[in-house]
Amino acid sequence: MKASDADILIIPGYTNSGPDHWQSRWQAKLSTARRVEQAEWSKPVREDWVARVVEEVEKSTRPVVLVAHSLGVPTAVHAVPRIGNKVAGAFFVAPPDVANPAIRPKHLMTFGPYPRDPLPFPSITVASRNDPFGAFEHADDIAGAWGSLLIDAGESGHINSDSGHGPWPEGTMVFAQFLSRLRADVGRTA
């Protein structure tokens, strides 16, 4: 599949992705990409965030590819029962451990625990070995439950602009390869 064959939904995490974040850069570069906007970026409510993802998927006319970062990952995964048949694939980056009582702010725990059912579409989960919001072992565990290919990003922090991942060329290459392997006929609506 080519990027032009898909509706690429950018699903940012807590407080949104700023202009230097790789998600914002990808959105600007990819003509079929659009951001799932949330009413409350700094006070996320799981049901509201999930509902916005479902709305955006339902508006799509092409197969959907989810590109979720941080709190966007559990948001997307919680939406799967309502959108799974319309999604061609998902690219998950830096999934936080939302079941960890040490997570701050505390209300982010309302996004946990992660569903552990296998995903009905191909996915990649990119995780760092020194992400302050989620241990690599946690990412390995949930990726395994989902049937997601885990990519070890080494010591890359939270894989955001604060950790030096604004342009993130390695991520762009992995995403392009992933996209090229997806089927363009998934999720088509008549």
Quote the Cα angle for 176-181-185, to 5°: 115
**109 in any annotated domain:** yes
Domain that includes residue 98, residue range = 3-180
Residue 88 tokens read as: 């061609």
CATH number assigned to the domain comprising residue 26: 3.40.50.1820
User: What stretch of H or E contains 137?
Assistant: helix 136-146
Which residues lie closer than 8 Å to 125 by C-beta, 6 or more apart?
73, 92, 93, 95, 139, 142, 143, 146, 148, 149, 150, 151
Which of 53, 82, 74 lies closest to 65 in space, CA to CA? 53
Q: How many domains does the chain have?
A: 1
Determine, yes or no, domain membership for 10.
yes
142 assigned to some structural domain: yes
Q: Indicate whether 24 belongs to any domain.
A: yes
Q: What is the pLDDT along the chain (190 residues), one digit of tens a residue?
A: 999 999 999 999 999 999 999 999 999 999 999 999 999 999 999 999 999 999 999 999 999 999 999 999 999 999 999 998 999 999 999 999 999 998 888 889 999 999 999 999 999 999 999 999 999 999 999 999 999 999 999 999 999 999 999 889 999 999 999 999 998 777 554 3
